[in-house]
Structure 1
Amino acid sequence: MKKSVLHQAATRGSADHGWLKSFHTFSFAGYYNPERVHFGALRVLNDDTVDGGRGFGNHPHDNMEIVSIPLEGELQHKDSMGNVAVIKAGEIQVMSAGTGIYHAEYNKNPNEPVKFLQIWIFPNKRDVTPRYDQIKLDIDNKRNVLNQVLSPDKDDEGVWIHQDAWFHMGRFDEGKQATYNLKKEGNGIYFFVLKGALKVDGQDLETRDGYGIWDISEVSIEATSDAELLIMEVPMEVRL
């Protein structure tokens, strides 16, 4: 039987550090909710806004798949693997932290904020060799369809991670519909509305609402206004 969980935007944890404003769908840093620790392999979904010229200093990670999706502005990245890059809206970045990395992230623009999603996924392999990847997406030219932006397959569309997970993004005009079919039995799907309003499996969702569903094989989607959506399919059983 289908199971689901609704996380409305206003119920998320939050932190205001002046230069950083962050909303936490799941427990993170000073926000802890025992009913919102993770959704299957999806551990962190942070909605961050960083003031111009500010950012996160050098800090460590290990044994986590880390995905960054800029929504507005440009994010400067530097890590212990020697990567120096700028990621901007319309791109996606992934790091396999594995045996351990250090990295820093800063708003490249001194005058405008950068807004991005910081997503952590539990890996299916521990202590892998750290790696980095970044690609440009083509969602603007593919409206009203679900565009794959992440998978477990190096040769598939989008970036890849060490987990049986698939991410899709889509921009939909009001009234347009789609169906999402799960890639792997036992996985669940977490829907996160970036803009606008949608109806997902009969559930009305608005901007920054999150909705998780599992024990289901397909899900219907209808845009009730012009809308943008991120879909994260992840295993529901994880060995932590």
Structure 2
Amino acid sequence: MLTLRKSQDRGFADHGWLKSFHSFSFANYHDPKHMGWGNLRVINEDRIAPGTGFGTHGHRDMEILSYVLEGNLAHKDTIGNVKGIPPGDVQRMSAGTGVQHSEFNHAPDATTHFLQIWILPNVTGIPASYEQKSFPDAEKRGRLRLVASPDGAEGSVLIHADARVYAGLFDSGESFTTAVDPARKGYVHVVRGQIEVNGQKLVAGDAALLANESSISLSNGQGAEVLVFDLAS
């Protein structure tokens, strides 16, 4: 079964310095029908205005991924990491027993556009940790590139969760089909462009929620960038 979650149906918050779309309930946006999907808890599409950002705040017992689309995200945390996250990088922060961090856009004239993703961990109370890796476009072109996994396979970032995350880039003439376990849940988020997922057309911001499906087919992409999640039920 494939259920579409349209971009315009997401929650939205405009804080002036931050504009954020919420795929699932988050902060002041609450929808009991959209509290997450499997162990995927948050996908926020954030745009941070120039010279602004999230001040120091805390997390615990959550696997947090940042996927930057435009601009640069400056990260600083209490476990000693001071990093810039450019497009093409995937950042993983395991909040564990607790971590404080900030995220800023220091550019004077450019917006930072990124996805903030939270996945529920399968272990709690671990020491907080950080990892960041770059995944070139060539590795995602016309296929799905594993970017996050519970075992760090294929050079992906390691998450403490029963989930795998893939990224892909698709244009006209490029298609890709992968088998999935129908006992698990799948989630396809269209980052930009448009593409067909199992024959259904999706555009930027749309998502496909999959249950009891044995495959995911991606085709007819037009400037498409997608994230595909293999999730615990």
What TM-score does the superposition give when structure 1 sets the normalisation length?
0.93
Q: CA deviation at 1:160?
A: 1.1
| Total equivalences in the alignment | 233
Residues 186/88 of structure 1: CA separation in 2 closer, same or farther (3 Å cut): same
CA distance in 1, matches of 2:106, 2:13: 22
Amino acid of the structure 2 residue aligned with 1:93: Q
Residue 229 of structure 2 corresponds to residue 232 of structure 1: yes
**What is residue 53 of structure 1 aligned with on the other side?**
51
Query: Within 2, Cα distance between the matches of 1:152 and 1:201?
Result: 26
- State the secondary structure of the residue aligned to 1:196: strand
- Look up the match of 1:220: 217
Secondary structure of the corresponding residue to residue 225 of structure 1: strand
- The one-letter amino acid paired with 2:229 is M
Say whether 1:74 aligns with 2:72: yes
Deviates more, 1:136-145 or 1:122-131: 136-145
Which amino acid in the other structure matches residue 221 of structure 1?
L
Give me the whole-angstrom Cα distance separating, in 2, the residues matched to 1:216 and 1:208: 22
- Aligned: 1:191 with 2:204: no
Q: Report the alpha carbon displacement of residue 220 of structure 1 after superposing the two structures with TM.
A: 1.4
Equivalence map 1:137-152=2 (5 Å): 137-140=135-138, 142-152=140-150
Tell me if structure 2 keeps the 8 A contact 1:21–1:50. yes
Identical aligned pairs, as a percentage? 42
Kept in 1: contact 2:182–2:211 (CA 8 A): no
Secondary structure at 1:117 match in 2: strand
Displacement of 1:217 in angstroms is 2.3
Mapped contact 1:174–1:227 kept (Cα < 8 A) = no
Deviation at 1:218, TM superposition (A): 1.4
* Offset, 1:197: 1.5
User: Would the aligned equivalents of 1:139 and 1:147 in 2 still touch at CA under 8 Å?
Assistant: no
Post-superposition shift, 1:57? 0.6
Q: Which moved more, 1:95-104 or 1:170-179?
A: 170-179
Distance 2:28 2:110 in 1: 27
Counterpart position of 2:200: 203
Shift of 1:141: 5.1
Distance 1:156 1:225, change over 3 A: closer
- Residue aligning to 1:126: 124
> Counterpart of 1:114?
112
CA offsets 1:78-127 (integer angstroms, 9 cap, x no match): 00101111001110100110111111000021221100000000000111
Show structure 2 runs of 5+ residues with no match.
none
1:44-81, CA deviations, whole angstroms, 9 ceiling, x for partnerless residues?
00000000110001101001000000000001100010
Structural RMSD (CA): 1.3
Shift >6 Å, 4+ stretches: none
> Post-superposition shift, 1:223?
2.3
- Note the C-alpha offset of 1:139: 2.3
Give the TM-score of the pair, scaled to structure 2: 0.96
8 A contact 1:151–1:158 mirrored in 2: yes
Unaligned runs of 5+ in 1: none
Q: SS at the partner of 1:10?
A: helix
CA distance, structure 1, for counterparts of residue 146 and residue 220 of structure 2: 18
Q: 1:172 to 1:195 in 2, by over 3 A?
A: same
